[in-house]
Structure 1
Amino acid sequence: MTATPFVPPLFDKLVIIGPGLIGSSILRRAMMDRDIAREIVASDIDPKVCARVRELGIADQVEPDATQAVRDADCVILCVPVGVIGEVAAQVVPAMKPGAILSEVGSTKVSVINAVLPALASRPDIAFVPAHPMAGTEYSGPDAGFPSLFENRWCLLLPLQDTPADAVARICAMWEAMGARLRTMTPEHHDRVCAIVSHLPHLLAFTICGTADDLADETRSEVLDFAASGFRDFTRIAASDPTMWRDIFLNNREALLEMLERFMTDAQVMADAIRRGDDTIIVDRIARGRAIRRTLIENHQA
């Protein structure tokens, strides 16, 4: 998908609610590129977060009251945990001006869309464009963001059937200005894809680190002292924000459980191969993993 050309700026007023890793990265990029928005506003329920955004200078204005922040906004992007997106939408949608665009960056889509739609039922004049930038780190908060976070990363767009084409085109143009590559898909397909490429790896990382933590004291200390690169990679993923990932797991439970069941079946096949000394299966699984890694590198996603 390629964005439609627009006369800059794309938005007169852009509001980011929840300036964490993703939100503060959007803010930083938009502050660098004024073709994105003339006025950039950040909002958060936490006074400490608002204060830090002011200190960092990554927004033109910081407004703790979200309903005040969104007034006269052309575009509002919800960058809060998926478990509260519906609640925040219900708060801000009544205060948005006619013709404004509402978007969000949640890692689950069926649950998020279902949570947001009730707030939009009485506001057909608000365009809703769900999106998911497939980028991130294990860090969180306004200090974690950086303007190049979305460079050459995929941003998945999930426009609804009745979403105005102009609104979709503007959100596409914004993400292209952030450096992202665009792809559209259905919410259901999105949740299954993300379950295997993102949600399941995080679940496994949290579980492996929990298993290591539960080992006998002497063995546990050796794990921490002699951790090899493989275990260190898992700990990096496991350092991610607990609240965010709790919400993701619970809001994408069906797709995640499906992928977890498939993984457990495949893990049992590998265990049986090791037990039998079946090197054909073992080598095949390793070779397939290497091939996937090479593909990621070729696609500039690693």
Structure 2
Amino acid sequence: MTDLPAPLFDTLVIIGPGLIGSSILRRGMEDRRIARRLVACDISPEVRARVAELGIADQIESDPATAARDADCVIICVPVGAIAMVAAQVMPVMKKGAILSEVGSVKTTVMEAMTPLLAQHPDIAFIPAHPMAGTEFSGPDAGFATLFEDRWCLLTPPGHTPADAIRRVTNLWEMMGARVRSMTVDHHDRVCAIVSHLPHLLAFTICGTADDLADETRSEVLDFAASGFRDFTRIAASDPTMWRDIFLNNREALLDMLDRFIADAQAMGNAIRTGDEDVIVSRIKRGRAIRRSLIENRQA
């Protein structure tokens, strides 16, 4: 009888089993090559009870330090503004050579907050990750094991990070079904500002605009919503706390992309105002080409 290969991690801890965290747990429960023991941690008794009911973790804890004590890898899956606070709780108890990661969609401010903690705990490898996957739903019920299939996971490891730790986190996300790429934190935040953060800002705003219309018109908007508006409402249904933190923590890159968008929107408006068909058609064709590229890249 052939011995099974050792799992990538003996103990993998997920702090914050929401959409992303519970999806990692579900994948780990299905594929035991990822971790021998899966630990979920959350401060909410309701969340812990639901994780137990779902059966997506081998062990459930309320205290991050208790959960992380024997971990080979800890992944923090909480809103961006709370990542460093949670890291400060777990790093003092993590064993030498363990890996700490997180899944926030903003990296510059996280790295700034983490720098003094990393200096105090040089034996912990910190590898920020951002799985570019999600839905408008949140909580442990929202996750599913195939969430990361064919989606990108962006890693932004500091320059001094051990190569073996990067390899193991890369393997983890590949076992989740994701494609993996590394980049700097600044580049990451600018990319995410245009492909994720600005679209969410626009979705929240256009839904607010519709809601501010006169009562009769607003009811018609809700009654006769076309697919374009419905797509905006799906994005706008996302978690408020998470997106508040993202907007505030990626302020500069997001505002830069917003300024560019406003200029482009004004140019399109001027083309409509003056009947400039060439500009209008050119913009529409560019949008169609981007959509085709997304489909070809299996991202749509």
| TM-score under structure 1 length normalisation | 0.97
Give the equivalent residue in structure 2 for 1:187: 185
Contact 1:157/1:184 (8 A) holds in 2? yes
Query: What is the rounded CA distance, in whole Å, between the counterparts of 2:157 and 2:85 in structure 1?
Result: 20
Q: Which structure 2 residue ranges, 5 or more long, are not aligned?
A: none
Aligned to 2:250: 252
RMSD: 0.6
Counterpart for residue 266 of structure 2: 268
Cα distance in structure 2, aligned partners of 1:62 and 1:114: 30
Cα deviation, 1:198-228, whole Å, max 9, x if unaligned, reads: 0000000000000000000000000000000
DSSP 3-state at the match of 1:24: helix
Q: Distance in 2 between matches of 1:257 and 1:179?
A: 33
Residue 126 (structure 1) shift: 0.3
Q: Deviations over 1:241-287 (max 9, x none)?
A: 00000000000000000000000000000000000011100000000
Q: What amino acid does structure 1 have at the position aligned with 2:102? A: E
The 2-side partners of 1:97 and 1:51 are apart by 28
CA distance in 2, matches of 1:21, 1:116: 24
Match of 2:198 among 191, 200, 210: 200
1:8 touches 1:36 (CA, 8 Å); kept in 2? no
CA distance in 1, matches of 2:249, 2:299: 26
Kindly provide the CA deviation profile for residues 65-117 of structure 1, in whole angstroms up to 9, marking residues without a partner as x: 11100011000000000010011111111111111000000000001111122
Counterpart residue identity of residue 230, structure 1:
G
- Cα distance between partner residues in 2 of 1:94 and 1:50: 24
Q: Is the 8 A contact 1:104 1:129 kept in 2?
A: yes
Q: Could you say what secondary structure the match of 1:264 adopts?
A: helix
The residue that corresponds to 1:135 in the other structure is 133
1:121 to 112, 119, 122: 119
Describe the SS at the equivalent of 1:182: strand
- Say whether 1:237 aligns with 2:242: no
Q: Which amino acid aligns with 2:227?
A: S
Matched residue SS, 1:112: helix
**Runs of 4+ residues deviating >4 angstroms:** none
Pairwise CA distance, 1:8: 2.9
Which residues of 2 match residues 57-76 of structure 1 at below 5 A?
A: 57-76=55-74
The 2-side partners of 1:42 and 1:116 are apart by 22
Please tell me the residue identity of whatever aligns with 2:295. Answer: I
Q: Secondary structure at the match of 1:136?
A: coil
Residue among 43, 47, 50 paired with 2:48: 50
Question: What letter is aligned with 1:144?
Answer: A
Aligned counterpart, 1:148: 146
1:213 maps to what in 2?
Answer: 211
Secondary structure of residue in 2 paired with 1:199: helix
Tell me the secondary structure at the aligned position of residue 13 of structure 1.
strand
Tell me the CA shift for residue 174 of structure 1.
0.4
**3-state SS, counterpart of residue 115 of structure 2:** helix
Q: What is the rounded CA distance, in whole Å, between the counterparts of 2:248 and 2:288 in structure 1? A: 31
Q: How much has 1:122 moved relative to structure 2?
A: 1.2
What is the number of equivalent residue pairs in this alignment? 296
* Partners of 1:21 and 1:142 within 8 A in 2: yes
2:172 is matched with which residue? 174
Q: Is the 8 A contact 1:74 1:101 kept in 2?
A: yes
Aligned to 1:3: none
Q: Name the residue aligned to 2:226.
A: 228
Q: Distance in 1 between matches of 2:24 and 2:166?
A: 18
In 1, Cα distance between equivalents of 2:222 and 2:286:
30
What is residue 297 of structure 1 aligned with on the other side? 295
Gaps of 5+ in 1: 1-6
Cα distance in 2 for partners of 1:66, 1:220 equals 45
In structure 1, how many angstroms separate the alpha carbons of the residues matched to 2:135 and 2:145?
13
2:8 aligned to 4, 7, 10, which one? 10
- Matched residues in 1 for 2:83 and 2:237: separation? 23
2:277 aligns to what? 279
Secondary structure of the structure 1 residue equivalent to 2:20: helix
Moved more, 88-97 or 244-253: 88-97
